[in-house]
Amino acid sequence: MKPYLSFLILFIGVVGLSFGQTTSDIPEVQALLDKMTLEEKIGQLNLVTPGGGVATGSVVSSNVEAKIKAGEVGGLFGIAGPEKIRQAQDLAINQTRLKIPLIFGSDVIHGYKTTFPIPLGMSASWDMELIKHSAEIAAMESTADGINWNFSPMVDIARDPRWGRIAEGAGEDPFLGSAIAKAMVEGYQGTDLTQPQTMIATVKHFALYGAAESGRDYNTVDMSRIKMFNQYLPPYKAAIDAGAGSVMSSFNDVDGIPASGNKWLLTDLLRDRWNFKGLVVSDYTSVNEMTAHGLGDLQAVSALALNAGLDMDMVGEGFLTTLQQSLEEGKVTEDGITQAARRVLEAKYKLGLFEDPYRYIDNKRPKTDILTQKSRDFARKLAAHSFVLLKNDQQILPLKKSTRIALVGPLANDKNNMLGTWAPTGDPQLSIPVLEGFKNVAPDAEITYAKGANITNDPAFAEKINVFGMRAEIDSRTPEAMIDEAVANAKGADVVVAVIGEATEMTGEAASRTDISIPEPQLKLLQALVDTGKPVAVVLMSGRPLTIEALNAMPVSILQVWHPGIEAGNAVADVVFGDYNPSGKLTASWPRNVGQVPIYYAQKNTGRPAPDEFAKFKSNYLDAPNSPLFAFGYGLSYTTFEYSDLSISKPKIAMGDSVDVSVKVTNTGDYDGEEVVQLYVHDVVRSITPPLRELKGFKKVMLKKGESKTVTITISPENLKFYNSTLDFIAEPGIFEVFMGGNSNVTEKVEFELSK
């Protein structure tokens, strides 16, 4: 090659590289970057919270006003309402040299003021349209209050119900989790981010946060790349492929380097392999926390984070206070700082804030857009769709509307626990308690109410879950007196409905439990009610799968309702009285006991698979079966569904082809109802050990009583691929088994062969 040619290529390469990193394709952003001082660029990387919201770390930001004026703030979170947001934006627009607008973030995890069920509950609806619409409403309401950047969706796969934040995600499965991640991003962002009803979505917590060792929050994660790529990363990638504008780095250690300083994660994987072009924000003080992890002082960890590809520092101010010095000492580059500032500015540009910094600030909108009856009606519908009927042996449910009901339980007439964890923007006092819902839906029923038991009798435990206000109040009466009252009511009724379970803050952030059973006072109450001989329907609230073997052994019906949100009571009543026939299916396995966790359906075989009964030298336990109490995908209905005529469109397909699998579903019971038809694939032989089955498709269908429908699901070539030992995403030829039915245990199968 001629010397001048290689010089030209080198020149283009170098320019291209630095241009690719520091210059923006957006002329407005580039023009601004050209004018900015180093200090102004660093200021854009600073995300602060003035306090007032829920501070999840040990600090909140100080002197926020002065910092905004000094150009030391890129965005705010934890404030809301057009007035407050306007005041803050005014400071940036009128009092800073370059008038760069602020971006306003918030945690709008399951609805803004119209609180929907907790995300784990929403996922149990398996209904992507409903989930997407919940995100649209959340975006409409929060943007009406001036917020344009959402710290949601949380897509962390969780296979350990001890972890309190399992409540915030979509459960254990990467395929379902990916579909939900996409639906939520599309719901928040719409098709045009400059529209004032849409907001930037943040996929979090990148990455693997749900795999914290021992289910203890913030704990270490140590995972093989194969497991990461196949089981844990797909939902983050799905959110990014759907166009999520930002990513939040997680608190946890990944392979010895916490996510916020992990270059492999934030640059090699996220930007280079997945082609993510948006903004990466840290979690709350997660940059600073790398000091506690053992990676050096604030200056060192801040430089580590910037060099890893992190753009915005949430609350910790390590970027603000140390980057300049690091630059002087050669520990970071100016290009690195410019690049991070560029990404912050580009996010603001995408929202249309340069054109109009007040685009999301409209004093009239809160009144028209927030908490409308239409949105509340939708919340009620979504909640009803999220409930899972775990057991209904005696067909106690649905109840007649004109019956005598003893409504009992610590959660039966409660407003404080209906919204669920991470609903800081919602107002618990606006929620509908179950008692009120019952009266609304069944005005002719004769209803008595008794609390019956405390959520917990342990004051020390109660104190820990009452951090954000009273969630678990300990009654001044003795436990016996409370049970006696409930039993007396039960004796005078035709049926008992017991609303029991976890208080809101028994799950969520920093709310891990080593014992995930129903607290003892509530179980005692249950036993006393069952002993009356009256039929008992249990409405179970929780933010996680619980261990309920003892409850399950009782002759009761169990309706799992999670924490159902603002319309809790109405939605529970809709289902209990049969106005809506439950159709939810579990999205995380319910273990028999904590010793079984981590637990998930997509298990691999061992070399010594367990037979049905215990056998020595097989992969089983001495004291419990391997199977969960309730499997992934499980959930009953008031009606019954029969599956037949499973068939496949072709016995053999070529690489790159799709195949259709069909099954006839018949409603054989006495009620109209919806069923979630699920398709699982087993790649029988491949180069790395395959899970025994993996969800690769689902469809929710409505079937009238007696009706049959043939449901067809297409398996696309993508759905046969996996990440192999070199992390290539490929399909391998061979036999695939396909199972189709109403839960992850279905046994009916067909086969096809994928040829070379």
Which amino acids are annotated catalytic?
A: 283
Of all residues in the shown chain, the one whose CB is closest to ligand BGC is: 56
Distance linking the first and last C-alpha atoms of the chain: 41
Task: Report the sign of the C-alpha dihedral through residues 178, 183, 184, 190, in that order.
Answer: positive
Is the Cβ–Cβ distance between 601 and 632 less than 8 Å? yes
Least Å from the CB of residue 509 to ligand BGC = 6
509 belongs to the binding site for ligand BGC (CB under 6 A): yes
Toward ligand BGC, which CB reaches closer, 203 or 483?
Answer: 203
Rounded to 10°, the helix 174-189/128-144 angle is 40
DSSP 233: S
Q: Are strands 388-391 and 556-560 parallel, antiparallel or unpaired?
A: antiparallel
| Rounded Cα–Cα distance for residues 657 and 652 (Å) | 10
Q: Measured from the CB of residue 424, what is the shortest distance to ligand BGC in angstroms?
A: 8
Question: Residue 610 is encoded by which pair of tokens?
Answer: 């367990």
Q: How far is the CB of 177 from ligand BGC (least distance, A)?
A: 16
570 lies in the binding site for ligand BGC (CB under 6 A): no
- Under the binding rule (CB under 6 A), the answer on residue 284 touching ligand BGC is yes
Binding to ligand BGC in span 177-216, by CB under 6 A = 204
Cβ of residue 616: shortest distance to ligand BGC, in angstroms?
A: 45
Nearer to ligand BGC, 56 or 246 (CB): 56
**Residue number, 203 or 731, with CB nearest to ligand BGC:** 203
When the beta carbons of 152 and 542 are compared against ligand BGC, the nearer one is 152
Among 151, 163, 600, 630, binds ligand BGC (CB under 6 A): 151
CB half-sphere exposure, 462, CA atoms < 13 A: 12
What minimum distance in Å lies between the beta carbon of 83 and ligand BGC? 22
The length of the chain is 756
- Residue 492 CB, shortest distance to ligand BGC, in Å, is 47
Which stretches of 534-656 are DSSP H helices? 549-553, 568-576
The residue (of 315 and 499) whose beta carbon lies closer to ligand BGC is 315
Mapping DSSP onto H, E and C, the string for 360-377 reads CCCCCHHHHHCCCHHHHH
Question: Measured from the CB atom, is 167 or 506 closer to ligand BGC?
Answer: 167
Other CB atoms closer than 10 Å to residue 174's CB: what's the count? 24
Q: Is 156 in the site for ligand BGC (CB under 6 A)?
A: no
- Strands (E) across 668-747 are located at 673-683, 694-703, 708-715, 722-723, 729-730, 734-741
Cα 124 to the chain's mean position, in Å?
11
Mark 3-32 with x for binding to ligand BGC (rule: CB under 6 A) and - for no binding. Answer: ------------------------------
Q: Is residue 145 involved in binding ligand BGC (CB under 6 A)?
A: no
CA distance 4 to 327: 34
283 binds ligand BGC (CB under 6 A): yes
Beta carbon of residue 134, minimum distance to ligand BGC (angstroms, whole number)? 18
Q: Which token pair is 27?
A: 């002329």
Contact status: 217 vs ligand BGC (CB under 6 A): no
Binding positions for ligand BGC, 324-363, rule CB under 6 A: none
Contacts of 429 (CB under 8 A, 6+ apart): 415
Question: Which of 150, 98, 156 is closest to 123 using CA atoms?
Answer: 156
Shortest reach from residue 227's CB to ligand BGC, in Å: 23
Decide whether 167 or 711 has the Cβ nearer to ligand BGC: 167
Give the total of residues touching ligand BGC (CB under 6 A): 7
The secondary structure element, H or E, covering residue 497 is: strand 495-501
Which is closer to ligand BGC, CB of 156 or CB of 172? 156
56 touches ligand BGC (CB under 6 A): yes
Site string for ligand BGC, 518-557 (x = CB under 6 A): ----------------------------------------
From the list 103, 44, 105, 32, the residue with the least C-alpha distance to 70 is: 44
Among 40, 72, 107, 186, binds ligand BGC (CB under 6 A): 107
46 binds ligand BGC (CB under 6 A): no
Least Cβ distance, residue 153 to ligand BGC (angstroms): 11
* Burial class of residue 662 in the structure, from the number of CB atoms within 10 Å of its CB (0-12 exposed, 13-18 middle, 19+ buried): middle
DSSP 273-301: IT---SEEE--TTTTTHHHHHTS--HHHH
Nearer to ligand BGC, 154 or 571 (CB): 154
- From the list 111, 41, 42, 100, the residue with the least C-alpha distance to 69 is 100
Nearer to ligand BGC, 54 or 594 (CB): 54
Nearest Cα to Cα of residue 405 among 481, 485, 491, 483: 491
Q: Which residues pair with 181 in a beta bridge?
A: none
CB of residue 467 vs ligand BGC: minimum separation in angstroms? 13
Write out the residues near ligand BGC by the rule CB under 6 A.
Answer: 56, 107, 151, 204, 283-284, 509
